[in-house]
Amino acid sequence: MSDPVTELAGLTLSGPVLVASGCGGSGRELTAYGPLADLGGFVTRSITLNARAGGSLPRIVETPSGLLHAVGLQNPGLEHFLSLELPWLAQQGTRVIVSIAGATLGEYAELARRLGRSPGVSAIEVNLSAPDATTTGVFDVREPFHAASVVAAVHRDLPRGMPVLAKVRTDLVRVVESARSVLDAGAAAVVVGNALPAAMPDGRPAGLSGPAIAPLALRCVTEVCAGLPDAQVVGAGGIATADDARAFLAAGATAVQVGAALLHDPTTAARIAADLRGAP
Amino acid sequence: MKPLHVTGEVLASKKVGAYRHLTLVAPGIPERFRPGTFVALSVGGEAARSRLARRAFWIHRVKPVGGYGATLEIVVEPVGVGTGWLAALAPGARLEVTGPLGRAFALPQEKVGCLLVGEGYAAAPLFPLAERLRERDCPVTLVVAGDDEAHLLSALEARRSARSVTVVTRDGSVGQRGEVADVIDEVLTRSGAEVVYAAGPSRTLHAVAAAAERHGAWSQTAVERPLTCATGLCQGCPVPVVGEDGVARLVRGCVDGPVFRGDRVRWDDLEAQ
Ligand SMILES: Cc1cc2nc3c(=O)[nH]c(=O)nc-3n(C[C@H](O)[C@H](O)[C@H](O)COP(=O)(O)OP(=O)(O)OC[C@H]3O[C@@H](n4cnc5c(N)ncnc54)[C@H](O)[C@@H]3O)c2cc1C
C-alpha cells in the first residue's frame, strides 16, 4: 500500500503533518531526532527583510499546559536565510514553506519577489497573527481588511503557481470573516491557529501556545470549515498527540501544524506523522 | 554525535547534602557523553503535559552498571516545581530524557596545567572533566565553591582527582570564607594554569574569565541560561557573545553553548538581560 498523500494548496505533500513556524529552529536542529522527509512540510520561523535580534528576557515562561513567549521574531533576515538556510532545507526531501512577516506592504512585496524566485520554496505562509505584533513592529492586521491587503500584495508579487498560505488570528468572533477575506485576496489555504495574544507575568505582550490553546484552535477550525466549505484549512494550535491531529482533521482540516509540543519533545511531529500513517 | 530522546528510568536516588544524586538509565545517552554536556528532562510524569519547559542538568558521571549498560548521574538541587518533582522520584520512575545536549568543554592539545572552578551543583561536570585531563597528563587544580558545606559538591572526591583543591564557602563552614572571586587570582598564580574551566552562576564565571585574561590563560565557561526546549528550536536562551569575526551577536545557550570561551561572552550584557 502506498503512503497516503495530502493535497494542499495545489501541492502534493507526503502527509498531513507540518512543523509550525517558529518551533523547528532552522530545521537542522530537528534532524538530530529524525529526517524532515518523514513530515509533510517544514514551515520556517517568520523571516523578515532585515535580521532581527529579538526581545528581552525572559523570552519564554512556562504556564499551566502552555508556554508564554515573546521571542520578538528573532531571525537572521532574508539574505542570510536565502544563502545559508534555504539551500540546505531544500535538500531535505520535505516541502519548504517560508513564513514571512513585514512592517510594511512594501516589505511583504519585496519578500515575495525574492522568495518567489528562489529554488526550493514550495509556498509562502504569511504570518498575519503575530500575537505581539504591536511590540514587534510588524504590519498591524487586526482588521480582516488589512490582512487581505497583505495577502494581495504577496500574491501579486509571487510567480503564478506559488501558493500563499495565510495564517490568521484565532479570534473566534472574526475568524470566519478573516479567512474569507484572505481567500478572496488570493490565499490558496488558510492556516487557522497561532499563539493567542497574552501577557508575560510582567505585562509585556506575549503569545500563549501549547495544549492549553488546542480547544480554542479546534473551535476556530470547525467554524471556518463550516462557514467556508470550499476553503482549504490547516489546523494549528496546541496539537501534541496523534489524537489531537485526528480531531483537527475530522473537523475538516486538510493538514495540521505541530508547534510548541516540539519544544517539549523534539520527536513529536515525527511520532504523530508515523501514527497517522499507521506505522507500528 | 547526535543527541537522543529516550524514555529513561530512575535507578537510584541518594540525598547528599542539599542535593539529590539521581542515577538514570537512558539508553544510548551515557555512551555519547563528553564533560560539559547536559540532559534535558521532562518533569511532571508521563500523563502530565502541564509543565512544558524542559529542565536542564549537567551530566555528573557516567558509569557501567551490570544489566543496564551505562547509567548517568545528575545532581539535583530542589529549588522549584521541576527540581522538587525530580528529587522526590523513587527508583523505577520513568521520565523523558534528551541528551547529551550542548557543546562540551574543549580539551587542550598539549600537556598544560588546568584550573577547574565549580560552584554549587554546577561543579558536577568538572569531575569527569578532571578525569579526562588526568588521562592526558594535564596537572589539575580544583576550586570547589558553595554557599555552605551542604552546597559543596563532592569535596572528598575532588581530592582524589586533583593535585590541589581549594574549598570556598560563603559562610565559611568549610574551607576559606568568601567567594570564588576572592581566591581566583591567588590560585591562578600558584597553579600557573594555562587553561581555566568554570561552571557556576554567571557572576562567578565573569570573575573567572576576567582573572584568566589578567593571567594570560584561556578560559572555558559553562553558562546556564533558563532553557525552554534545550534543543535549539525556540530561541529562548540568547547569550550575547563576540564571534570569531569580532562581530557581536546573540547565540543560543543550549546548542551553541553551554560552554563558551570566557573572552567571547559579553558578560555585562549577559548580566543585564
Ligand atoms: C545547562 C544547564 C545545566 C544545569 N544543570 C543543573 C544541575 O546539574 N543541577 C541542578 O540542580 N540544576 C541545574 N540547572 C538548573 C536547572 O535546570 C533549573 O534549576 C531548573 O530548570 C529549575 O526548574 P524548577 O522547575 O525546579 O524551578 P522553577 O523555578 O519552578 O522553574 C520554572 C521555570 O523556570 C525556568 N528556570 C528558572 N531558573 C532557571 C535556571 N537557572 N536555569 C534553567 N531554567 C530556569 C525553568 O526552565 C522552568 O521552566 C542547569 C541549567 C542549565 C541551563
Q: What is the pLDDT along chain A (280 residues), one digit of tens a residue?
A: 445 689 999 999 999 999 999 999 999 999 999 999 999 999 999 999 999 988 889 999 999 999 999 998 999 999 999 999 999 999 999 999 999 999 999 999 999 999 999 999 999 999 998 887 777 778 777 888 899 999 999 999 999 999 999 999 999 999 999 999 999 999 999 999 999 999 999 999 999 999 999 999 999 999 999 999 999 999 999 999 999 999 999 999 999 999 999 999 999 999 999 999 987 6
Residue A44: closest C-alpha in chain B: B233
Domain with CATH 2.40.30.10 in chain B: 4-101
Please state, in angstroms and rounded to a whole number, the distance separating the CA atoms of residues B74 and B55.
Answer: 12
Grid coordinates of B38:
547536559
- Residue A82: how many other CB atoms lie within 10 Å: 18
- Distance from the A241 Cα atom to the nearest Cα atom in chain B, whole angstroms: 11
Cα–Cα distance for residue pair A136/A127, rounded to 1 Å: 13
Q: Which residue has the higher pLDDT, B45 or A247?
A: A247
On chain A, the residues whose CB falls within 8 A of the CB of B53 are 60, 62, 67, 263-264
Domain B4-101: CATH superfamily is Translation factors (2.40.30.10)
Angstrom CA distances, A170 to A133, A174, A188, A228, B270, stand at: 14, 8, 18, 15, 36
Report the alpha-carbon distance of residue A153 to residue B270 in Å, rounded: 40
**Nearest atom in ligand 1 to B56's CA:** 17
For strands B61-65 and A196-199, give the pairing: unpaired
Tell me: pLDDT of B244 over 60.
yes
- A266 upstream amide cis, omega within 30 of 0: no
Q: Is B85 in the pocket of ligand 1 (CB under 6 A)?
A: no
B261, B245 in Cβ contact below 8 A?
A: no
Strands in B61-65's sheet, in edge-to-edge order, are B55-58, B38-41, B94-101, B4-16, B19-25, B69-76, B61-65
Q: Report the chain A residue with the minimal C-alpha distance to residue B3.
A: A32
Which CATH number does the domain A6-277 belong to among 3.20.20.70, 1.10.760.10, 3.90.950.20, 3.60.15.10? 3.20.20.70
pLDDT above 90: percentage of residues in chain B: 89
- Do A266 and B233 make contact, defined as CB atoms within 8 angstroms? yes
Kindly determine whether residue B228 and residue A67, on different chains, have CB atoms separated by under 8 Å.
yes
Q: What pLDDT shows up at residue A3? A: 58
Lowest mean pLDDT among A12-21, A132-141, B25-34, B260-269: A132-141
CATH class of B114-272: alpha beta
> How far lies B170's CA from each of A205, A235, B51, B125, in Å?
39, 54, 33, 21
Take residue B170 and report the three cell numbers written for it: 560563603
Distance, CA of A144 to CA of A177 (rounded, Å):
7
**Confidence check: pLDDT of B54 > 70:** yes
b/e sequence B183-220, b meaning 16+ C-beta within 10 Å: bbeebbeebebbbbbbbbbbebbbbbbbbbeebebbbb
pLDDT at B67: 81
A30, A65, A66: residue with CB nearest B233: A30
What ipTM did this prediction achieve?
A: 0.92
Per CB-CB distance under 8 Å, the chain A contacts of B8 are: none
Pocket lining: B194 vs ligand 1, CB cutoff 6 Å: no
Domain with CATH 3.40.50.80 in chain B: 114-272
